[in-house]
Amino acid sequence: MSKLIKKYNVPGPRYTSYPTVPYWEPESFSRGAWIDSVLHTFDQDPKQGLGLYIHLPYCESLCTFCGCHKRITKRHEVESPYIDRVLQEWKIYVALLGTRPLIQEMHLGGGTPTFFSPDNLKRLVGGILELSDRVPDADFSFEGHPNNTTREHLQALYGMGFKRVSYGVQDYNPHVQKAIHRIQPIGNVERVTQWSREIGYTSVGHDLIYGLPFQGQDHIRENIRLTRELAPDRIAFYSYAHVPWIKGNGQRGFKESDLPGSQEKGLQFELGRELLLGAGYRDVGMDHFALEGDGLYRAMAQGRLHRNFMGYTTSKTKLLLGLGISSISDSWGGFAQNVKQEGEYAELLAQGDLPVVKGHILNPEDLIIRGHILRLMCQFSTQWDESEARIIDFQAIFDNMEEMRGDGLVELGEGAIRVTPLGRPFVRNICMAFDLKLHRKKPGTRIFSMTV
Ligand SMILES: C[S@@+](CC[C@H](N)C(=O)[O-])C[C@H]1O[C@@H](n2cnc3c(N)ncnc32)[C@H](O)[C@@H]1O
Ligand code: SF4
C-alpha cells in the first residue's frame, strides 16, 4: 500500500462536483439560465424533496489550517442581520418555485453554526420551515464547534428536527493544537458528545485530520485511541488540504517545513484507516468511516449513498439549494455559487435578486461524465450503454486507467468499471481518468490538494 500511496498521491479534485469549480465555464452561465435549470429539475418532480445547505460564516477565532469560507469576529450583533438575509434569499427561491417546497435534507455548515445563539438558530430554521414542508424522514444536521456548543444549542436544534451533528476535533495533541491555533481540551469534545447522546441525536460525528503541522504516526494512533473511547457513530478522516494559494494568510500560521512530507502523510492515512477498520468502523466512500448502525453506512450498503458539495450524504436529492455567502447550489443541470462578500450579498438581496455570481450549466457530455464520477465515488463501480458510447470516447478513459488496472486498483469490463477494495483509497485518481475537462486542459498552477 505504501508504494501505491507514494505513486498515486498527486494533486487532484475532491469531486464534490463535476465539472470541478476551476473548470466552470462562465460563458455557459447567467442568472436566468440558473433559474431555468432549477425550475426544470423542480418541475420534473415537485414531490421529490430538496436539499438545503445554509452557510453560517462566523467564527470567534481563526484556526490556521482552515480551508472553509469564514469571517472571524467576536461581535455577535452580526447574527441577526445575517439571518434576515438568509431568510430573504429563501423567500426569493420559494417565490420562484411557485409552491411550498418539500425539504428532504437540511445542513447548517460554516464557519461555525454554534457561533449563533440558540434563539437565533431557532429563528433561522423556523423561518425556513414556515415557507416549506419536510418529508417524514428528513435528515437535518449541523456542524458544532466543541468549544462553544452548549446544551441549549443541542436542545434547540433537536426540538426543530435535527438528529445528526458533527464536531470538529482535528487532533488532540497540545503541540499540534497550538500550531493550528485551536486549543481544544478533550473534555470539551467528551462533553458535547455526551450531551448529544443524552438529548437523542442518532448520529454524532467527529472530524479528524491527518497531515497537519507537527503530526506524526504516534499522534494518529493516539487520536484514534481517544476517538474510540468516545465512540462517535461517524468519523470524517480528512487529508489536510494545504491550499494557502487560495486562502491567503489564513493558513500561514506555521512553516511549510512543519508539515509532514507526502510519504509520511500517506503512512498516517494508512495507519489511521487500519486502526479505524480494526475498531469496527466501515469505510464509506473516500474519507468517511461509520459504525454499521449509522445511516451513512446503511445508505452505502443499500446503494443510496450520494455526494454533493456537503460531501457524502444519505439522500439522493437532485436539487440542492445553498443559502448564505459563498454557498454553492446544484440543480443537477447546473451549479451556482453565491457571492462571498457580505456587503454584496446584502445589496443583491435588497434589490430582490438571487445573490449568485458564478456557475456552470452542464452540457450533454458533462452530464454523462458527472453521472459516472458520482457512481464511482459512491458505489465504486459504473457502467454505460451504446447511447453514451456514441457521445463519449470510453476507450480513451480505459487507456487513462491502464496503469491503475495493472496495479490492481480497477477492473475494466465490457462497458463497465469496478474499483477493487485495494483501489478505494485512490478513488479520486480513478475519477480523474474520467475527467475529460482536466485531460483537455491541465492546470498551469497548483489548484487542487493532494489525493491522499
Ligand atoms: C466548518 S468546520 C466544522 C465546524 C466548526 N467550525 C469547527 O471547526 O469545529 C468543517 C470541518 O472541515 C475540516 N477542514 C477545514 N479546513 C480543512 C483543511 N484545510 N483540510 C482538511 N479539512 C479541513 C475540519 O475537519 C472541520 O472540522
Ligand atoms: S476550522 Fe471551524 S472554527 Fe476554525 S476557522 Fe475553520 S470554520 Fe472556523
Per-residue model confidence as pLDDT tens digits over 347-373: 999 999 999 999 999 999 999 999 999
Measured in angstroms, how far is the CA atom of residue 180 from the centroid of ligand 1?
12
Measured in angstroms, how far is the CA atom of residue 209 from the centroid of ligand 1?
9
pLDDT, position 221: 98
User: Of the ligands numbered here, which is closest to the C-alpha atom of 58?
Assistant: 2
CA-CA distances (angstroms) from residue 364 to 309, 324, 385, 392, 426? 21, 30, 15, 10, 27
315, 105 contact by CB (below 8 A): yes
DSSP strands (E only) in 156-214: 162-170, 203-210
pLDDT, position 252: 63
pLDDT, position 447: 61
User: Of the ligands numbered here, which is closest to the C-alpha atom of 67?
Assistant: 1
pLDDT of residue 223 exceeding 50, the answer is yes
Measured in angstroms, how far is the CA atom of residue 171 from the centroid of ligand 2?
13
Alpha helices, DSSP H only, in 45-185?
79-97, 118-130, 151-159, 174-179
Q: Please enumerate in sequence order all residues whose Cβ is within 8 A of that of 192, keeping only pairs 6 or more positions apart, or say none.
A: 144, 146, 149, 154, 167
Neighbours of 248 (CB within 10 A): 8
User: Whole-angstrom Cα distance, residue 322 to residue 242?
Assistant: 25
Q: What is the largest CA-CA distance in the chain?
A: 60
Q: Please enumerate in sequence order all residues whose Cβ is within 8 A of that of 41, keeping only pairs 6 or more positions apart, or say none.
A: 318, 319, 331, 332, 333
Measured in angstroms, how far is the CA atom of residue 213 from the centroid of ligand 1?
15
Cα 59–chain centre separation: 19
pLDDT, position 315: 82
Half-sphere exposure of 163 toward its Cβ, with a 13 Å CA cutoff?
10
Average pLDDT over residues 278-289: 90
Measured in angstroms, how far is the CA atom of residue 168 from the centroid of ligand 1?
6
Residue 111 CA: which ligand 2 atom is closest?
7
User: Of the ligands numbered here, which is closest to the C-alpha atom of 113?
Assistant: 1
Per-residue model confidence as pLDDT tens digits over 58-88: 999 999 999 999 999 999 999 999 999 999 9
- Name the residue of 62, 65, 147, 188 to mutate for ligand 2: max ligand atoms within 8 A of Cβ: 62
Cα 1–chain centre separation: 26
Residue nearest to atom 4 of ligand 2 (CA): 63
Identify the bridge partners of residue 72 per DSSP, sorted by sequence position: 59
Residue 147 CA: which ligand 1 atom is closest?
9
pLDDT, position 241: 87
Percentage above 90 pLDDT, the chain: 76
pLDDT, position 452: 67
Q: Please, what is the end-to-end C-alpha distance for the chain in angstroms?
A: 12
Cell of 210: 491527518
Average pLDDT over residues 224-248: 87
User: Whole-angstrom Cα distance, residue 437 to residue 365?
Assistant: 10
The DSSP result for 44-68, as a single string, is H-TTS-EEEEEEE-EESS--TT--S
- Name the residue of 66, 265, 451 to mutate for ligand 1: max ligand atoms within 8 A of Cβ: 66
Q: What is the mean pLDDT of the chain?
A: 92
Q: Give ligand 1 pocket residues (Cβ under 6 A).
A: 59, 65-68, 109-112, 143, 145, 168, 170, 207, 209, 238, 240-241
Per-residue model confidence as pLDDT tens digits over 412-423: 988 999 999 889
| pTM for this prediction | 0.94
pLDDT of residue 445 exceeding 70, the answer is no
Average pLDDT over residues 33-61: 95
Measured in angstroms, how far is the CA atom of residue 199 from the centroid of ligand 2?
25
Residue nearest to atom 6 of ligand 2 (CA): 66
Q: Please enumerate in sequence order all residues whose Cβ is within 8 A of that of 256, keeping only pairs 6 or more positions apart, or say none.
A: none
How confident is residue 249, by pLDDT bands cut at 50, 70 and 90? very low
Neighbours of 82 (CB within 10 A): 23
pLDDT, position 210: 96
Sign of CA pseudo-dihedral 358, 364, 365, 368: positive
Cell of 447: 489548484
Measured in angstroms, how far is the CA atom of residue 192 from the centroid of ligand 1?
17
**DSSP classification of residue 392:** S
User: What are the backbone angles phi and psi of residue 113, rounded to the nearest 5°?
Assistant: -55, -35
Q: Give ligand 2 pocket residues (Cβ under 6 A).
A: 59, 62-63, 66, 68, 70, 110-112, 145, 168
Residue nearest to atom 2 of ligand 2 (CA): 111
Cell of 4: 501505491
Cell of 421: 477494495
pLDDT of residue 105 exceeding 70, the answer is yes
**Residue reference for cell 452548549:** 150
Measured in angstroms, how far is the CA atom of residue 411 from the centroid of ligand 1?
34
Beta strands 133-144 and 311-313: pairing type? unpaired
The winner for highest mean pLDDT among 153-167, 384-398, 438-452 is 153-167
User: Whole-angstrom Cα distance, residue 249 to residue 344?
Assistant: 23
Per-residue model confidence as pLDDT tens digits over 291-302: 999 999 999 998
Selection from 153, 132, 190, 452 nearest residue 323 by Cα: 132
Beta strands 282-284 and 306-308: pairing type? unpaired
pLDDT, position 250: 53
40, 157 contact by CB (below 8 A): no
Per-residue model confidence as pLDDT tens digits over 140-190: 999 999 999 999 999 999 999 999 999 999 999 999 999 999 999 999 999
Measured in angstroms, how far is the CA atom of residue 66 from the centroid of ligand 1?
6
